[in-house]
Structure 1
């Protein structure tokens, strides 16, 4: 679903939409109906209205949370609107602008634990909108058009850029990063993709570019992610602070200083505005397409907004699209929402022809592609230790709608595909479970959790043996779902065999609720897990409910005790992507807890 266009004469200027194909729920149209129905559309279009009452007596206050890079520009526009006594439906518009990191806002909205203290959110990328949805239980968000944009590029200090032939030589993403990293030619920094849209879009762009080259692209991207992780910063501002500020021997030779960074054009613009001489940066724009930060104007929990707040939000959205506001954004280094480039802005940011800075932005990666990129990065940078526990109850023989395959067969295929994403240093084991599978026990360990690259008894590697074990899984006729006993037993083993320095987790796949009435109860399982959880040895449970008979809420409640979460897939073929998504989420939660 595309974003709605603005009901404003300025909305059509320079804002023809963004190439993103990400689906959205756009509820701004509700505001338009309200405005037209009450005769305030003219006020929204026409600018200032004359009213006799003082602004302080009639003010409607709006709180906007914006990404730190765009917050100063938005605050400047808001302050000018207040000075000009801009009104929304007869009320003076007073807008407070707060700068907050988008990843923190997204996490808070997804959790939904507290009511937000703001009505409008302006993240740097719409990828955070999907993150904010979480499992669909958080605070709802309603995005509209982009108010500005900035392409992601590779910035270099002059000595490094000229060594790679800037500005005349152009590269694809894959070639550019390979050229920069080849033979340790350039120290390259990047922001954490789990916390930075710039870092994530750049890594996704590198992955897509590498895939177009053919060959073993996954290995190349994994190697790149590992190298970038060695010089990773928490955010975009921190990345800029790692760059050498001059060509002095002390700066250039300092191994702690980067010579290049994956940043936005706007970040380079800000840096160059403050830098002098050789401290300025040059920008490479990949020839196979540059992703955009797109700054979507987003209502937060629209249903709770008062009529006055809704109309004020509409008025401010229109204001951000007018000529003066767009000029303010340009002064701060931002392009228009459609990504169109002004030569003067690009030059100030460090771009120069024939670098392809005016080419259309690349199509935004899908949410699934972004999650897979994050999952791949997590298991590459920090080796994983996963115990996989698969439901083998009789219901796993049920055919999947639209496929001539059982739930078990599709699950096996998805697990084998997921296995390809892991490196030889990752450790993975396998259990299966069904009632009375092994005497009175509901579970059986089929493969020990160990390195995929380790040699196996009888020849081959652990990866090969594990692949064969996945392929051999079969439902147990008449077997029921012994979920609780299995969860407790497998969690105890995963915790007792915890390996420091790895991402340890327990992955449980089930297509039903617990059916073993002779084993531990749900409340008993919850009590035992709470006793076993150790923040110093975290083992999150990643519980995946497969098919319509599984209870996601039940497995989610159990998993969250351990720092993990529950997920639901209607088709077992989705398991691969969900595992990578869950690894990223659990890995990020663990890092946040450590801090």
Structure 2
């Protein structure tokens, strides 16, 4: 039965962990003492827990659930009836961004990245990670002929070196799952960026963007489809079949599963980069726990405790997962395609910072898909107020942030700029300064679009008018839809430091109604509305943006703008991909 869900997000790991320990200890003692044994089936009085899980770990959870039913495992005297459904983590994250009433109690994505992603949407569902139930490192696998040609297993590489091997040589074709849909792909790309930065300094951004472009040519929608692109044998691995990949960004567990069924010369051999392998960490996440019954929440935690018992740990390893703090068994690593002296037991990377991941995914989105953005900047008189602790006006800090954000975009991206206040152009509250064009395009005077934008941002000055937000938003949205370009990430970015102050404009309700009518899912143009400063109305910008499938944000400091724009691009991209 669907439950009413509260639209808030909580991350109370400590509380959940205490509950897990309490439930596990109490139930475990009771079971050993015979207090929870039942004569016959207790199916009629079972407490049901529905779990959505990443497809790779769903079979493990399903088997553990069957064992629990067969053994009449109980929580507070009631049998566990755990139902497991496999669903891609990116799809669940997308649905949680939009759906305030999910009909499942537990979510087990393959990475905590998806829990963070789910929080980017307008309808934030309460998520409580209770702990991690398994792990597997993200590696680079190659078919035997390719691996041995670059010195496997003796030769050890960094991520930057491995990627260079696979992208600079046409004979070694590298595939990956889409980082917008694959945590493994995103973690690897983030690590490649960090590795390239360490090796190459200021040139690393350009090199990582070039790598992303090359990967995009051989990217697959999901991890399972990426595996299907591998060469199946030595003859398939030859240049005669360029559609087949010889190398793949892949988790150890996925390689384990692949190798069980592949022919010997189509199996993967794994490189564990010596600068660290990121981990898929499988967070066991309670979904809107406050609206579960006591029986449901305790049963969900009881099942998690069951997954930490000895026979369940063996079940995880049987399916190719690592568990606990123990070193992986040699049998597991060998079956997955690992071998000494590859550092499979020691080269574990620390999780990347969320900001790093957002920057990587933003780079992927705008590098691979190319973006078409129109930025609409508030230049009303209040934008001249000084930002505390910075000694510069809101508009000056905003301009600097826009120039920094511009550096994230490639020459193929299209960006333009408007300004607005009140009555800037006759009775209009807005004025178009630079048309939305490709950043690398040269204009009549020989300057590029990027140079024109930097100059236009630099010339922005506070005007004596007030904030004409509503009429400007409607006009800019109509223009963005009219000039929509298929195949690009189209969006409208509006930056304002206050609520609408034009008494002659349309009402907020009329604006939202018109935006909802104009929004076309076949030609999506999400509105990214950023409210800057203490006077800005967060509720207002969120409501306006939501009408277009976009997102509204409130920031205290305009210097946060670059990161927020990346967050918004990720959120909009996640919605379109789910």
- Contact 2:385/2:394, CA 8 A, preserved across alignment: yes
Partner of 1:371: 358
- Structure 1: distance between partners of 2:107 and 2:156: 36
What is aligned with 1:31?
Answer: 19
What displacement does 1:402 show? 3.1
CA distance in 1, matches of 2:44, 2:526: 53
Cα distance between partner residues in 2 of 1:110 and 1:538 = 17
Is residue 88 of structure 1 aligned with residue 65 of structure 2?
A: no
CA distance in 1, matches of 2:274, 2:36: 48
**Cα 1:63/1:46, change in 2 over 3 Å:** farther
Instruction: Report SS of the residue matched to 1:151.
Output: strand
Query: In the alignment, which of 382, 398, 423 is matched to residue 410 of structure 2?
Result: 423
Deviations 1:251-290 (Å, cap 9, x if unpaired)? 7632221111111000000001112321211011111000
| Alpha-carbon distance between aligned partners in 2 of 1:223 and 1:304, rounded to the nearest angstrom | 47
Structure 2 Cα separation of the partners of residues 229 and 274 of structure 1 = 27
Task: Name 1:578's counterpart in structure 2.
Answer: 564
Q: Map of 1:162-241 to 2, 5 A cutoff?
A: 162-213=148-199, 214-241=201-228
State whether residues 48 and 86 of structure 1, in contact with CA within 8 Å, keep that contact through their aligned partners in structure 2.
no
Q: Report the aligned-residue RMSD.
A: 2.3
Aligned partner of 1:487 in structure 2 is 473
2:105–2:287 Cα contact (<8 Å) kept: yes
Pair 1:117-2:92 in alignment: no
Q: For 1:311, what is the secondary structure of its paired residue?
A: helix
- Residues 268-417 of structure 1 aligned to structure 2 (within 5 Å): 268-338=255-325, 340-417=327-404
> 1:360 deviation in Å?
4.4
Q: What is residue 255 of structure 1 aligned with on the other side? A: 242
| 1-structure distance, mates of 2:439, 2:34 | 65
The number of aligned residues is: 567
Distance 2:276 2:411 in 1: 33
Moved more, 532-541 or 425-434: 532-541
1:476 to 2:476 alignment = no
Q: In the aligned structure 1, how far is the partner of 2:521 from the partner of 2:103? A: 31
The gaps in structure 2 that reach 5 residues or longer are 1-9
Q: CA deviation at 1:88?
A: 1.7
| Residues 209-262 of structure 1 deviation map (CA, whole Å, 9 limit, x = unaligned) | 111121311111111111111111111111111111111258763222111111
Deviation, 1:53, is 6.4
Contact kept? 1:294, 1:337, Cα under 8 Å: no
- Report the Cα offset of residue 357 of structure 1: 0.9
Aligned to 2:7: none
1:517 paired residue among 490, 494, 503: 503
Shift of 1:456: 3.6
CA distance in 1, matches of 2:416, 2:469: 18
Structure 1 counterpart of 2:514, from 496, 516, 528:
528
SS at match of 1:262: strand
Matched, 1:437 2:429: no
Q: Which moved more, 1:246-255 or 1:209-218?
A: 246-255
- Contact preservation (8 Å) 2:363, 2:408: yes
Q: Partners of 1:586 and 1:369 in 2: how far apart?
A: 18
Deviates more, 1:27-36 or 1:117-126: 27-36
Q: Which runs of 5+ in 1 are unaligned?
A: 1-22
Alpha-carbon distance between aligned partners in 2 of 1:411 and 1:206, rounded to the nearest angstrom:
31
Cα deviation for residue 501 of structure 1 reads 2.9
CA deviation vs aligned residue, 1:391-431 (integer Å, no higher than 9, x gap): 11111122223322221121111111000011112121111
Q: Given the two structures, how large is their TM-score scaled by the length of structure 2?
A: 0.93
Give the whole-Å Cα distance in 2 for the aligned partners of 1:576 and 1:45.
56
CA displacement 1:485-534 (0-9 Å, x = unmatched): 11122222222323333222211111111110112222332343344334
Cα deviation 1:63-102 (Å, max 9, x = unaligned)? 2221110111121122122222222222222222211111
Q: Distance in 1 between matches of 2:382 and 2:33?
A: 63
Q: CA contact under 8 A between 1:540 and 1:559: conserved in structure 2?
A: yes
Distance, in Å, in 2 between the alignment partners of 1:557 and 1:184 is: 49
